[in-house]
Amino acid sequence: MSEMIPRVELSPLTLADEDEFCSLVEASAELHTPWMQLPTTAEDFQVWMRRFADGTNRAYLIRVRETGAAAGAVNINSIIRGRYQGASLGYAAFAPSAGRGYLTEGLTLVLRHAFEDLRLHRLEANIQPANKASLALAQRLGFRYEGMSPDYLFIDGAWRDHERWSITAPSPWTPDPSLPEV
Ligand SMILES: CC(C)(COP(=O)(O)OP(=O)(O)OC[C@H]1O[C@@H](n2cnc3c(N)ncnc32)[C@H](O)[C@@H]1OP(=O)(O)O)[C@@H](O)C(=O)NCCC(=O)NCCS
């Protein structure tokens, strides 16, 4: 797939995306429940956007090149530098174009961006064992299963066990200057 021209591109999520984002999330309620909760109102969207202000968390839309339509949203969350150089991924498809491979392609671009531009060394995806679509997606992208984290994230009103999946940067890899030399 990496040899082909991707059908999608990444664009950073901005305040200007509010209306489109909120209506696509609203249209995706059935797909996202109970796995993912994203803002659907202007107020919640604006509050949510604040977490991307300092670069520790980053948000992107996966857009279909041909139409410009947003097919999904991806976050690179909790970026930690130092000796870790890692982050956690969050992602969701939007219902009108789900199941067409756009998330697989978009996340392939996100991995490349994370490893080459952000120079991260490790990405995690934390996935509930019953979330088969997300487990299949992580596996397709080359993530490895590392183990079960009990009571890992507060989702849909309770602390849920999550499977921890990860992928590390392919070599050759250029480290971020914040990585200690020894
Ligand atoms: C997990 C989730 C993001 C997957 O999204 P998706 O739209 O199914 O992702 P993709 O389309 O890339 O998935 C690939 C599927 O499309 C199929 N597909 C269809 N056309 C394709 C194409 N041209 N190229 C590649 N795959 C294609 C694949 O075969 C696969 O189908 P399968 O599961 O029947 O084998 C989505 O289910 C979702 O938003 N879930 C709720 C939120 C969530 O759980 N987030 C993750 C929390 S950990």
CATH of the domain at 100: 3.40.630.30
Asked if residue 64 belongs to a domain, the reply is yes
Whether 3 is covered by a domain: the verdict is no
Number of separate domains in the chain? 1
- Low-confidence stretches of the chain (pLDDT beneath 50): 2
Q: Which distant-in-sequence residues (6+ apart) come within 8 Å of 168 by Cβ?
A: 121, 122
**pTM, rounded to two decimals:** 0.95
pLDDT value, residue 4: 77
**Ligand 1 site-directed mutation target among 134, 152, 161, 166, most atoms within 8 Å of CB:** 134
Residue 37 lies in a domain: yes
* Cis upstream peptide for 170 (omega within 30°): no
The answer to whether residue 2 sits within a structural domain is no
Answer yes or no: are the C-beta atoms of 147 and 138 closer than 8 Å.
no
Ligand 1 atom closest to 102 (CA): 12
Q: Is residue 149 part of a domain?
A: yes
Residue 178 inside a domain? The answer is no
pLDDT of 1: 53
Pocket of ligand 1 (CB under 6 A): 31-32, 35-36, 91-93, 98-104, 127, 131, 133-134, 136-137
- What pLDDT score does 3 carry? 63
- Is residue 175 included in any domain, yes or no? no
**How far is the C-alpha of 69 from the C-alpha of 94, rounded, in Å?**
10
Contact status, residue 131 vs residue 161, Cβ threshold 8 Å: no
| pLDDT for 49 | 98
Structural domain span for residue 76: 8-168
Inside any domain, residue 174: no
